[in-house]
Amino acid sequence: MSNKKLNNAKHRGRPKGVKNQTKSPVYLREKTLQSGNKSLYLDIFLGQGTGGNLIHEYEFLKLYLTGNKHADKETLRQAETIRAARIIEINNGNHNALQSKQAANADFLTFAELQADKKRTNKRGEINERGTSLTYKSFICHFKQYTGNRRVTFKQIDKRFCQGFITYLQKQTSTRDHTPLKINTQIDYIKVFETILNAAIKQEIITINPMALCEKPQRQSHDIIFLSVQELKKLENTECQKPGVKAAFLFACYTGLRFSDIRGLTWEKIVEFAGETCLHIRQQKTNTLQYLPIGDKAKQFLPARRDAAGTDAIFNLSTNCYTNIFLKSWARESGVTKQISFHTARHTAATLLLALGENIKTISGILGHSNSAITEKHYAALQIAPLAQAMKKFNNI
């Protein structure tokens, strides 16, 4: 029976014939049925919610008072025995089954919106309405459409429900331009769903992730956008509305650092190590500590330190989204027609090193990948030199 129906039922502090129930987390209550009999159930107090509301769990005992004095006395004795057992479980901390049942009835959408709110704030406490935050927001919109905006509990989300959501996405169009949702966009929403369910597992709301049991579409590979030496020269010779953005982007082109790592650079992270000027950084995405040598070309784009403290940022950048706006405008001014983003700098560093004959393992170390297989996956197709050498062998036939 739903909590709403229970709230509409007639409750008494205790049924007739029940001895005084002292202040307790478990109360024995009765509900009058249409037949005139009274159904006994336990009203279990589980605590106070974040909004101040009291959280209750109801356990129906399938015991009934019929008006027969002797039979009702035995029924009440059984009910009191069960109530006492529940109190002992709670006092001993052994009421996980009750808590799990309560948690399983929690509203998924409320939980998902809380997870989305966390994504709106970055590590610096700044609000970000783009990127991952926007993906969460779009997922929630699609989830509401899929469910008809009705309340869905965690208990209702099983493999069939999740597989249905995947099928739903395959038939949907983009809210922005009304074109069919791209495979990679569908996968992004599926990944958000899976991530939210994993968060629920960590909070012991559910025990398994049903999305992990589903057949999911495979992500499509896409072309890696990188800049040629000629395009880099065009950018170097073109003024940018935000000189700091220009310097940071070109520095990234010659170091291979991600936006998050460039933004987090402080002057104290430039150190001398093994006779080289290096960046001593912990990559934010992989959490790996790294000494990364800075070449003379990269040093050209470091701003003057002047009187900056060691903890001051080297490049004062806003959000990735805001930075990309100026990058695109700067690229157009320079005559570069590619749709670049800040991550283009990282791809540029890797592809230039490949073109210059550097091996994958070394490039993997520069990029801070956990293993060279990741680098191979992204950039192996761009190793043109060995292919060209192989194809030239046909010239001797």
Q: Which conformational region is residue 270 in: left (phi greater than 0), alpha (psi within -120 to 50 degrees), or beta?
A: beta
Could you tell me which CATH class the domain 229-390 is placed in? mainly alpha
The residues near 236 (Cβ < 8 Å, ≥ 6 apart) are 250
User: How far are the Cα atoms of 231, 323, 344, 347, 351 from residue 338, in angstroms, in the given order?
Assistant: 10, 16, 10, 13, 16
Q: How many degrees, rounded to 5, is the angle at CA 240 between CA 236 and CA 244?
A: 90
Q: What is the pLDDT along the chain (397 residues), one digit of tens a residue?
A: 334 334 334 444 443 334 444 456 788 998 888 788 998 988 887 665 545 556 666 778 889 999 999 999 999 999 998 888 888 777 765 545 445 555 677 889 888 988 888 877 655 555 555 567 788 989 999 999 999 999 999 989 999 999 999 999 999 887 666 778 889 889 999 999 999 999 888 877 888 899 988 999 887 766 788 999 999 999 999 999 999 999 999 999 999 999 989 999 999 999 998 889 999 988 766 677 889 999 999 999 999 999 999 999 999 998 888 899 999 999 999 999 998 999 999 999 988 888 888 888 888 888 887 676 767 777 766 666 666 667 776 677 7
- Give 108-213's CATH code, choosing from 3.40.50.300, 3.40.718.10, 2.60.40.1120, 1.10.150.130: 1.10.150.130
Backbone dihedral angles phi then psi of residue 229, each to the nearest 5 degrees: -60, -40
Predicted TM-score (pTM) above 0.75:
no
d(CA 20, CA 148) in angstroms, rounded, equals 47
d(CA 243, CA 11) in angstroms, rounded, equals 71
Question: Could you tell me the residue ranges of all domains in the chain?
Answer: 3-104, 108-213, 229-390
Per-residue pLDDT at 387: 61
The residues near 386 (Cβ < 8 Å, ≥ 6 apart) are none
Per-residue pLDDT at 227: 94
Tokens of 228: 């040629």
Question: Which uninterrupted H or E stretch holds 227?
Answer: none
Per-residue pLDDT at 98: 46
Per-residue pLDDT at 106: 81
Per-residue pLDDT at 200: 87
- Identify the burial level of 95 via C-beta atoms within 10 angstroms of its C-beta, where 0-12 means exposed, 13-18 middle and 19 or more buried: buried
Per-residue pLDDT at 57: 67
| CA nearest neighbour of 159 among 189, 197, 111, 202 | 197
